[in-house]
Chain A
Amino acid sequence: MPEKDNHLRRTAKGRRPQYFEDPAVDHLHNMILSLVEELSVTRDRADALERLLEQSGVLNSIQLDQYQADEVAAIERQERRERYIARVLKTFSDQAERESEDLMAPPFEEVVRIMDK
């Protein structure tokens, strides 16, 4: 888990192009790709678990189906779920960041002008 006092910058300075007529579609598109990513990670992790469990012979699929999280596990799962949601919905925090004073950047044509001078 990241240390609380060690947050690195997560949003790049510079306006993000709008790709679709409705900006909501940009957000949705972004969220879908993030979901795809997380599903890929989850599959890798499940694959790792299954291989490790099978190797060590400690578990079979019936036990997995019957598992119920205890209180500690439930809290950890909740925290992980919250980080997961933040990641999938990052497109919104990015927009807010880019509109903040810190990352305010000129429009594309103005950037071209600065580079061209």
Chain B
Amino acid sequence: MNDQHEHPLLVRRDHDDESRQQFARSLRAHLLNEVQPGVYHLVAAKAASEGPITDRHHVREMIADHPYYRTFSASLRTAQERIWDSVIDAVEKDHARLKSAYLETGAKAPTAGSLRLNPELVIPDYHATVDIHLQPGGYHTEQEEDDIAAGAIYDRAVFLYANGRFGNQTQLMGETVVEELQTALPDFLPERILEIGCTVGNSIIPYATAFPEAEIYAIDVAAPCLRYAHARAEAMGAAIHFSQQNAEKTDFAEGSFDLIVSHIFFHETSRTALDNVLLECRRLLKPGGYMAHLDLPRQHHFKDQIESFLHDWEAHNNNETFHKIFKTMSLTERAQHVGFPAQSLNTTMTPLNWPLLLGQR
């Protein structure tokens, strides 16, 4: 079976935890693959008899009260909740082992990477207002000293959520950007790389493999994810320097990096933050340096308004609230707004079916 690669920091599951997790994963996959197409057909049939669809909001009016859609939507919400709950069961049981694995990182041998936390950092509104994609406590909540729970929960849950689509070490987003970079810029050998919004560091590890000589940094606002990411990266033999920072305003010096990357990051920020982050990328890049941002599809990428409406489900039901706004925005336009020249920006569609913006300082 297509399952997650076991690594020392991955939460252990007993028989019933594993069974529950696999159930939640299968339930979600079934709803998306087998039940959701029925919503599409219902809307299409209504449009055929009632007249053409104007936009995704019109689709919502057409279908929101339909019992099929209501039940589908309620079930998908529950499936998402069951993923988190079944993983939290396992993390509670495996807590002591996971915590000592974190605390023992670097105790026996010096670490290849590092961890720098900032307890004064203010968690931004766009993370503190609601728990994004329903992870109880979000990425950032700490319930005790040296808390790693949110990271341990996220690492397992995101694999189940993606049903393996992000690879068996949830590394595929990073790998995809690396491959796109190597195709577009075959001679580019970045010496200093930064990832913004790294969560558990799953996407940055492929960069360490592809650019073994590079010095690699990764930032996030969430301390429990960073602690876990540090222990996880060390266990996997990757040298990453993690620090707790808001990508809108970091403490790195101007012109610090040859390459700045992000993976499904911007859609979990806000309109103001998005501009601030792009401006910070401009400040942090060396002249001639590149930024590469992989994110979810925008309005014009959907084949029609029904698909776009279905994608809005995440905003309305899964606390991915900003995505509803983000999908109407153009990263290229915002990058130009903060000073990247138009000719330096190029967006390509990746094999993940998500667009990648490549920009040069």
Contacts and interface: CB of A to CB of B under 8 A. Distances in A.
Interface of B: 15-16, 19-20, 23-24, 27, 70-71, 73-75, 77-79, 81-82, 84-85, 88-89, 91-93, 95-96, 125-126, 129-131, 134-138, 141, 143, 149, 153, 270-272, 316-317, 319, 321-322, 324-325
Interface in A26-85: 26, 29-30, 33-34, 36-37, 40-41, 44-45, 48
Nearest to B24: A37
Given A9-B143, A16-B77, A29-B71, A45 B15 contact: yes
B24 A17 contact: no
B136 A10 contact: yes
A113 B27 CA distance: 33
A8 B24 contact: no
30 contacts: A1-B93, A3-B95, A8-B92, A8-B137, A8-B143, A8-B149, A8-B153, A9-B136, A12-B81, A12-B84, A12-B136, A12-B319, A13-B131, A14-B129, A29-B71, A29-B78, A33-B27, A34-B78, A37-B24, A41-B23, A45-B16, A94-B81, A108-B321, A111-B321, A112-B325, A114-B125, A115-B126, A115-B270, A116-B270, A116-B271
B88 A10 contact: yes
A117 B273 CA distance: 9
A107 B160 CA distance: 29
Contacts of A114: 125-126, 129, 270
A6 B92 contact: yes
From A9, A13, A114, A115, name the one whose CB has the most chain B CB atoms within 10 angstroms. A115
A95 interface: no
Nearest to A2: B92
A105 interface: yes
Given A8-B92, A41-B19, A106-B129, A117 B271 contact: yes
Given A19-B74, A108-B321, 12 more contacts: A2-B93, A7-B92, A8-B153, A13-B129, A17-B317, A19-B73, A29-B71, A36-B27, A41-B20, A48-B15, A112-B321, A114-B125
Contacts of A34: 78, 82
A72 to B, nearest CB: 20
B131 A3 contact: no
Contacts of B81: 12, 94
Interface of A: 1-3, 6-14, 16-17, 19-20, 26, 29-30, 33-34, 36-37, 40-41, 44-45, 48, 87, 90, 94, 105-106, 108, 111-112, 114-117
A106 B319 CA distance: 12
Given A8-B136, A105-B130, A114-B270, A37 B316 contact: no
Contacts of B91: 8
A29 B137 CA distance: 25
Contact of B77 (A10, A19, A40): A19
A85 to B, nearest CB: 15
A45 B319 CA distance: 34
Nearest to A33: B78
Contacts of A13: 129-131, 136-138
Contacts of A19: 70-71, 73-74, 77
Given A8-B88, A114-B125, A14 B131 contact: yes
A11 to B, nearest CB: 6
B247 to A, nearest CB: 16
A115 B325 contact: yes
Contact of B129 (A6, A48, A105): A105
Contact of B23 (A26, A40, A111, A112): A40
A115 B321 contact: yes
Contacts of B125: 114-115
Contacts of B96: 3
A111 B70 CA distance: 22
Nearest to A43: B19
A29 B74 contact: yes
A33 B23 CA distance: 10
Contacts of A33: 27, 75, 78-79, 82
A37 B82 contact: yes
A7 B143 CA distance: 9
A87 B149 CA distance: 20
A114 B27 CA distance: 33
Contacts of B272: 117
Contacts of A87: 85
